[in-house]
Amino acid sequence: MAHLNRRDRGQLILVAGFALAVAFVALALVLNAAIFTGSLATRGENTGANDALAYRQTVETDVGELLQYANEVNASDSYGDLETNVTVGVNEMSNLSARLQVRTGTVSNVSLQSSVSGTRILQNDTTARRFTNESGDSDWTMAEGVQQTRAFTIEIDNDTGDPVASLADDGTGNEFNLTVDDEDSVDDWELLLSRNSTSPDQVNVTVTNGTGTFSCHETVGASVFWVNVTDGTVAGTECEALSFAENVEGDYTLNVTNGANAKGNYSMVVDRTSVPSQHYDGPQPIADAALYSVTVELVFETDQLHYRTDVRVAPGESDA
């Protein structure tokens, strides 16, 4: 009997799991397609453009889910393998949708045109690890020469059940610091996470950009909480101060300072295929090959409308 190594087993899980993910995503697209195409007969010819745009939005969401799944279960360092997996998923999704829609006189097709390679940087330790590099250094560089970052989330956790307790008090100079260092100007972007010294159950989020310093404060319970850096939310609540990399115009470096003063996990995707490998040599944190974005061609045709366009998909990308 042949023995499978860890990467082989991972690849088998990837193939089987990806096929299942495609089936679920395709089902969602088919159901939405039925709604869109069924509406054509009842709402008149002037609404055809609305249906095409609604179909586009659904395709963008569903392809984003395929892209995310391919990256997160990736067991290969090959960008070609990643693109192949996404291509297979998009084709299957498109075929299932087209078979249903043709019965209502609508022709649709979605096909992968191109992809942008990148790196998924993450920490997914189960022991509420500090945000240091692999050797425990508190100050370190996550990535250099970055142009875009997406799906950047931070989970603050603590073994004691009090997540804020892992953060340094505000105003001490020891706060967890993430800096987006603009390589072309002095307009860096800086994020500080700290505990409110007068309200220990409150997290402070302080952002400094090229125009000033801004902050928001959020009371959190005794469980973990999330900071969605690229979506601008803290514990699920919008934080107006949190607009990722605002006023940063050139390529940038992601630097961590006082990483030991935050505990939990994080994840992001950057559009760089190489990162400083010396910081990722151990079990945690991790830097994996990933696709930053993909572009698909979408076709949506009825007897009254011909709609063809390229759609760029980069889930979790900031609007800033």
Give me the percent of the chain exceeding a pLDDT of 70: 82
CA 74/CA 177 separation, integer angstroms: 29
Radius of gyration of the chain (CA): 22
- Residue 92 or residue 319, greater confidence: 92
Token code pair at residue 20: 């299942």
- Whether 252 contacts 179, CB under 8 Å: no
Helix or strand run (H / E) with residue 243: none
Token code pair at residue 275: 């990162």
DSSP bridge pairs for 186? none
Interval 259-281: pLDDT, tens = 999 999 999 999 999 999 999 98
Domain count, the chain: 2
Interval 122-142: pLDDT, tens = 999 988 899 999 999 999 999
- Same-domain status, 138 and 207: yes
The answer to the question of residue 1 being in a domain is no
CA 241/CA 84 separation, integer angstroms: 39
- Same-domain status, 153 and 271: yes
- Same-domain status, 170 and 46: no
Identity of the amino acid at 84: T
The answer to the question of residue 73 being in a domain is yes
- Same-domain status, 88 and 18: yes
From the list 118, 162, 149, the residue with the least C-alpha distance to 287 is: 118
Q: Work out whether the CA dihedral 102, 105, 107, 108 comes out positive or negative.
A: negative
CA 59/CA 21 separation, integer angstroms: 15
Average predicted confidence (pLDDT) for the chain: 85
DSSP 3-state assignment of 103?
helix
- Same-domain status, 163 and 299: no
- Same-domain status, 94 and 141: no
Has residue 27 got a pLDDT over 50?
yes
Has residue 42 got a pLDDT over 60?
no
Mean pLDDT on 5-27: 51
- Same-domain status, 151 and 85: no
CA angle, 312 then 318 then 320, to 5°:
110
- Whether 255 contacts 147, CB under 8 Å: no
Give me the percent of the chain exceeding a pLDDT of 90: 59
User: What DSSP assignment string belongs to 84-101?
Assistant: HHHHHHHHHHHHHHHHHH
Range(s) of the domain holding residue 44: 6-116+294-313
- Same-domain status, 192 and 72: no
Interval 61-105: pLDDT, tens = 989 999 998 998 866 789 999 999 999 889 988 988 888 777 778
The answer to the question of residue 319 being in a domain is no
- Same-domain status, 105 and 248: no
pTM: 0.85
Per-residue confidence (pLDDT) for residue 20, from 0 to 100: 56
